[in-house]
A and B are shown apart, each in its own frame.
Chain A
Amino acid sequence: MSRVNRATATQSLSVSFAVGLYGIAFGAAGIAAGFSILQTCLLSLLTFSGASQFAVVGVMGAGGSALSGIATASLLGIRNTLYGLRMAPILRLRGWKKIAAAQITIDESTGVAIGQEDLGIDAMKHGFWLTGIGVYVLWNFFTLLGALGAQAMGNPSAWGLDAAVPAAFLGLVWPRLLGHFERTLAIASLGLAIALSPLIPAGLPIILTAGLAAIFGWRQRL
């Protein structure tokens, strides 16, 4: 590969740092939901997808089954498959490098790579690897920090962690609410999940809203 140009490197590192820092919020959320430090850190090392990780600890922390947690995480993770589809012809990898690339295929690595399109295919590759590895290292470091901090704090409610977790979800969904259509879906999903919560086992009300997304997507006119 050729030399990394400065613009790509700067963008990759600033994205890595900004995103990696949120690992603190996840580390704290994991502990607040009853996961151990080791389990919380393994989620960041292995699952390595912010929204999916928050979903597992959110669903299971609220009393949902492991299956509900895994199903919600998987539904949120489907977009990573699409990122892989996009990156495969650019990266053209084999063997262990393909496995490594798959593991760091996330919103940010794909986003930065696509953002380098004007600078050529090498810049796209550099952007993908630098951002993917950068986020991976920092996300895991800050997860550990957040988990240790939350462990030291004790009662999650006394430190506001019980509100920090839904606020973290709100912050993740906010940029996606681009128009009236998306906002309607968001409010409908929120309402449906709350309405169903006393009626069916924890976790299921959340998974069922994926059906609402399917109905909305099916009927949407472009």
Chain B
Amino acid sequence: MEAATMSALWIGVIGSSIALFVLRYLGYLVPEKFLTNPRMLRINTLIPIALLSALVGVQTLTEKGKWVIDQRLAGVAVALIALSLKAPYFVVVISAAVTSAVLYRL
């Protein structure tokens, strides 16, 4: 993976920490009626599905903005099989890592 510069990483760490605290604290400050529009609630449950799926795709099939097919795809495919067999989260992650590492070292 291509690392960003150290100062950018610091901005990412501090910025996301502030953002998350503000988002959390907001929940304890604002009256409930402001955020309970049914359509907004529905969109809010869908946002993680979209973002996490996008992350799966980008982290599996791209590198530095280019499409790349390599050992990662095999690892994620094994993770998908593990999930469909209802394996625990840890088994899913480890099986992907082992598959990818073995192919990388071949």
Contact = CB atoms under 8 A, between A and B. Distances in A.
A35 B32 CA distance: 37
Classify the interface of chain B: helix, strand, loop or mixed: helix
A171 B92 CA distance: 7
B49 A75 contact: no
Interface residues of B, number: 79
Nearest to A199: B65
B58 A70 contact: no
B50 A160 contact: no
27 contacts: A34-B3, A35-B13, A46-B13, A46-B14, A51-B52, A55-B51, A63-B64, A63-B65, A65-B8, A70-B12, A82-B41, A160-B102, A162-B100, A163-B75, A163-B76, A166-B60, A167-B93, A170-B80, A186-B53, A189-B49, A189-B50, A193-B54, A193-B57, A194-B62, A210-B51, A217-B42, A217-B46
Interface of B: 1-4, 6, 8-17, 19-21, 23-28, 30, 32, 35-36, 39, 41-67, 71-72, 74-76, 79-80, 83, 89-90, 92-102, 104-105
- 5 nearest CB pairs, A to B: A84-B27, A163-B75, A34-B3, A160-B97, A163-B100
